[in-house]
Structure formats: structure tokens, C-alpha cells
Structure 1
Amino acid sequence: MERQIDYRHLESLIALLTVARLGRYTAAANVLGVNHSTISRRIDALQKAMGGHLLTRSPNGWELTDLGRRAMASAEAIEQAVEAIGSEKDTGGLAGHVRIAAPDAFSAHLAAPALAKLQAKHPQLVFEIVSETTRARQTRTGMDLEIVIGEPNVRKAASTKLMDYELRLYATAEYLEAHGTRVALEDLAGHRLNYYIDTALTVDKLDEATSVLPPIQRAISSTSIAVQYAATMNHAGIGLLPTFLSEHYPNMIPVLHDQFTYHSEYWLVGREEALRSRAVQETVRALNDAATTGDWFIPPFPAYDLSRG
């Protein structure tokens, strides 16, 4: 028979709620500002009080048991009650800690400005953005939301397409003057490419983007899109870059746009437990709205002349 939970277990219920959403004790500890052992003690105390296991380890991280799901309902009710109290002082009444993993360009140019606007409305919201370009993971990674390139294939998670985008070839006028302005697709073998590091690339869509190009020597490769832009703007080679950024920089000259373009998409992935959080729901809405309207942040990005010291 299930035992009653008293007020002493409020912190334990919040610990359970956070572990259930993130799938990892360490991630929950980071969000709650405690250490891993504190999370473990709180979960153990709650399990003793309820007379059974609330979590079970799986290949996807920690998952709720049937008893855990019943406890989770109580934890969510507490969370909603706390938010309701806050709404008496703040009409928005939205608080929470949301962790997001997203590719470099999406993180800097869409996620950060969109979430800054959301945070301005709800100052009690806290965001962590991990900038990474990888496929959606099957395991729980301690993130509430993942933004991935290409349609994901994940279990026990919801996914939705945020937007389509294109990769095209760009170079500076200085590079083309030095290496030839008349470029045909078959001539690319005589040029150099700024793009992702082959051995570090785990995203099929990004890997496929170069498959229809002739063999081309790499110039400067990086996991960072900012580095790829800096390399291209400093005349190191031709960059295979997203149009939603490149079209805003006058020194990015289109190369072979009548012969080559590669289509891709950004997708959002969220676990069921995380998506029940109002903070996560509003985060999803903000990201989707920004992607739909194309509300990109385009910072100044001059071509740097390093010879000036």
C-alpha cells in the first residue's frame, strides 16, 4: 500500500521531477544547485517513504516506474502551485531551468536572441545552451530539448520540424581574384573548401552535402560555424555555408549558385517528461516562432586582416 508523503519530501519530489526530465542525476544536480549525492539521498528517501522504486536505469537514462509516474504527478502539482504563487507578484508567473543542445549557428543566431526575449518577459527563467552539431541521441543526455539537423529517429520522444534551410558555396572577391573568378562545378577540384572536420562529423545531412561535389581539398576545417566563416572571410578557400547568414554579409560572394545547393532542416526533439513543463513549453513556442518568422540575429562580422597586427 502506498504511503503518504509529508512536507519533508517536497525537495525529494522536485529532485525526482528533475531527474525524470533530464534522465541523469548529475544533470539534475546541476539544475538544482546541489551535488550528485544529495540528489541520490533525496530520491532514496522518497523511495523509502513510498515503499518502492521510483526510477529504473535504461539505455535511455533513468526512467520512471509506474510508482514513479504517480509521484511525478504530485511533483508537477507542486511545481504548478509554486508557479501560481509567483504569478501573484509577476503576471507571467513563469520560472524554471531549461537546458538546450543545438548546433552552433542555430544557438548563436536564433536560440539566444529568441530566449533573451522570453527571459525579458519572465526573469525567473534560466537557460543553458550547449552548442553542438550532432545527431539526436537515443540516450538521455541531461537536456530538456535538442535541436538537430535532419529528421531524427528517436524513441520515447516527440520531434517537430522547425525550419528548412540551404547550404551554398561562398567566397570573397579577394579569393576569387587570386584563384580564378570563372568557377564551374568540375573546377572545384582546383580549389579549397572551408567546412566541418570529416572525422568529427556525425550528422548524415551535413556529410551528404559534400557528396555531390567533386573531390576538393580542405582549407580550414572546424566544428564551429563561426570559424568556417572567419576562414572564408579571410580568403582561405570557398565556404559551404548556410544562406540564412551568408546573404547578410556583402563580402560573401555566391559561387555556383546556379549549379549547386543543398537542402537541410532543423528539427526539435523533446522528451515527454520535459515537455510537460510550462517553462519548456514556452521555450519550444519561442524557438518555433523565431524559426517561423526568420528572426535571426546577424552580428557584424568583418573580414579580418591579420597582417595589421
Structure 2
Amino acid sequence: MFDWDDLRIFLTVARLKKVAPAARALGIDATTISRRLGRLSQALDAQLFEQTGAERALTEHGAALLRHAESIESAAMSAIVDVKGERHSLNGQVRLSVAEGFGRWILAPAIPEFHARHPGIRLDVITASGFLNPSKREADMAVMLARPQRGHLAVRKLADYKLHLYASPGYLAARGAPASRERLHEHVLIGYVPEFLYSPELDYLDEVYAGLEASLRSSSIGMQRQLILDGAGIGVLPDFIVADDEKLVRLFPEEVEIARSFWLVTHPEMTKLARILAVSDMLRERSEELLGGGASIS
């Protein structure tokens, strides 16, 4: 029989893929982690990890154990919620992972009122490139650009939104308006850095016209917007980002209209908590107010 706490260490290493970050997350040293993993492997008579470069990858046995360990973790969380009475508590931490555009233009204006209404909820908003995954316990909730295809998750569509091609009057006065989408390659195009596209839903230019490439690139939608406002070039922006920017001109509005959606993703056990429901309600209300909302999907 193995020590149940070794499963907690196994889960952390499986999710972070490296011992050093796992050690920091768990508050124990790397030597202890390696020793505990070795003890678990010996107890199960199975190799759980193999070293691939700097990372530890799960073996077939390790992947099988991960599925069972996550089920045990979920059951333990449900038990804690029931016994401690957290289900109805509006206190505690909620870690929310969002895209930069959603966080800055949709979520941020609503946070002061939310905090005044729920001062006991500590809302941590993470807007790093790439989404933290609720199924891996990296976040409690995430607003994602596509519906996850894997993982034990509760999913609902928050809203659909549209994107269009924009330029500033200053740019158009200096360079002239493109005669057609086919001629856009003659202009300065602004977009994402391909190597840092953390979601294929951010690859917009190819939907405007096949083969287009940006010459001014940034991983930040906020910086792209500012470059377009300053007359540096032409780029694709979500309409909700430019709603108050009367200075921007929409190009080829009948030909270029890109559709995307925001999806709220939560670990199923977390959806029972009052603090998670409070954040979920706030996200739904803001999405309905600014974007029109979307159907609930579980």
C-alpha cells in the first residue's frame, strides 16, 4: 500500500512536468519529491515518468494513474466542501484565467462593483499568454476562445463576438485606403507573433485574405490596438475593443467579418461553490451587457 500524500506529489509533477516548479508549489525540496515519487513507483511496481529533456513525461502507467488520482482528488475536494460548509460561503480565493482583451475591456470595469458586493472573495485574474487549465487545477475558472475538447470540465458559452479590419484616418490619409483585400499585402499589417499564438482562434489575417502576413507584430492585443490608433498600420480587432474609438475606420465591412466565441470553463466540483457562482454570474452579466450573451452548455 502506498502513502496517499504521494498521490498529491505525483499529481503536481504530472501537471507541471518538472520537479523544481512542483517543489515550489508544494513547499518541499526537490530531493523529497524525487524520493516520494520513487517510493510510489516502487509501491505500484510501475514506472510512472520518463525523462524527456528537461521535463518528466508520463508513461502509459503514469497516465493511467493520473486519471484515477484526479478522480480521488475531485472526491476529496467535494468532501471538504461538504464538511467545511464552503458550498455557501462567499469568502475565499478564485483564480480566473482570461484572454487579455476580455480581461481589460470586459472584465476590469466590473471588478470594483463586484469587490464592493463580495469583499470576502479574493479574485486573482491571470492574463498571461496561454490559458491556465482548470482540469489541471492551474486555475479555478477560465474564459477561453474555444470550447475544450478534452478534460473533465463544466463548459458554457458566454458570448459570440465579431472582429473586423480597422485603420486610423491618419494612416488612410498618408497611405490611402486599400483598393481590395487582394491589395492588402501592399500595406503595413499589424497582427500577432506567430510563434506566440497560444490559440489558433487568434490567427485572424488568413481569414481576411489567404497568405497575408503582419509586418508589425505583438503578442498583446492592447499594443496592436494602440499601433492601429497611432496610424502604424491596418489590423484585425474585436469590435468590443474599438466600440468607443470613433477615430478608427472599419475596412471592407461587408467582406471581412470574423466570428469568435468566449467559453467559461470550470472544474465540475468547483461549480457548487457560492464564490465560483458569484464570479460566474458576474462574467455572464458582463458578457450579456457588452456582447449579447450566449446559450448555457454543460
**What TM-score, normalized by structure 1, do the two folds share?**
0.69
Aligned to 1:218: 214
Shift of 1:293: 1.4
Indicate the residue corresponding to 2:112 in structure 1: 116
**Alignment partner of 1:166 out of 137, 159, 162:** 162
- The answer to whether the Cα contact below 8 Å between 2:98 and 2:131 also exists between their aligned partners in 1 is no
Contact 1:191 1:216 (8 Å CA) reproduced: no
Find the aligned partners of 1:187 and 1:241 in 2 and give their Cα distance: 19
Aligned positions, number: 248
In 2: Cα distance, 1:210 partner to 1:142 partner: 32
Deviation at 1:136, TM superposition (A): 7.5
- Verify: 1:257 aligned to 2:248, yes or no: no
User: Which residue matches 2:85?
Assistant: 80
**Shift of the alpha carbon at 1:64?**
4.0
Structure 2: which amino acid aligns with 1:63?
Answer: E
Return the offset for 1:132.
3.6
CA drift at 1:241: 0.4
Where does the alignment leave 5 or more consecutive residues of structure 2 unmatched?
37-61, 293-298
TM-superposed deviation, 1:214? 4.4
Find the counterpart in structure 2 of residue 232 from structure 1: 228
Q: Distance in 2 between matches of 1:126 and 1:179?
A: 49
Distance in 2 between the 1:185 and 1:283 partners?
41
Does residue 63 in structure 1 map to residue 39 in structure 2?
Answer: no
CA contact (8 A) 1:59 1:139 kept: no
**Misfit runs of 4+, over 3 Å:** 56-62, 68-74, 132-139, 214-217
| Residues 123, 62 of structure 1: alpha-carbon distance in 2 compared, 3 angstrom cutoff | farther
Task: Give the secondary-structure state (helix, strand or coil) at the position aligned to 2:148.
Answer: coil
Query: Residue 186 of structure 1 aligns with which residue?
Result: 182
* TM superposition shift of 1:109: 1.5
Question: Distance between the aligned counterparts of 1:94 and 1:226, measured in 2?
Answer: 33
Q: Is the 8 A contact 1:192 1:216 kept in 2?
A: no
Contact 1:136 1:148 in 2 (8 A): no
Distance 1:73 1:181 in 2: 59
1:156-202: CA deviation from partner (whole Å, max 9, x where unpaired): 00111111111111111111111113531111010121111111113
Aligned-pair identity (%):
22
**What is the TM-score when the length of structure 2 is the normalising length?**
0.71
Q: Which whole-Å CA distance do the structure 2 matches of 1:98 and 1:234 have between them?
A: 37
Deviations 1:238-274 (A, max 9, x none): 0210111213101111111122111111111111122
Q: What does residue 143 of structure 1 align with?
A: 139
Matching of residue 248 in structure 1 with residue 255 in structure 2:
no
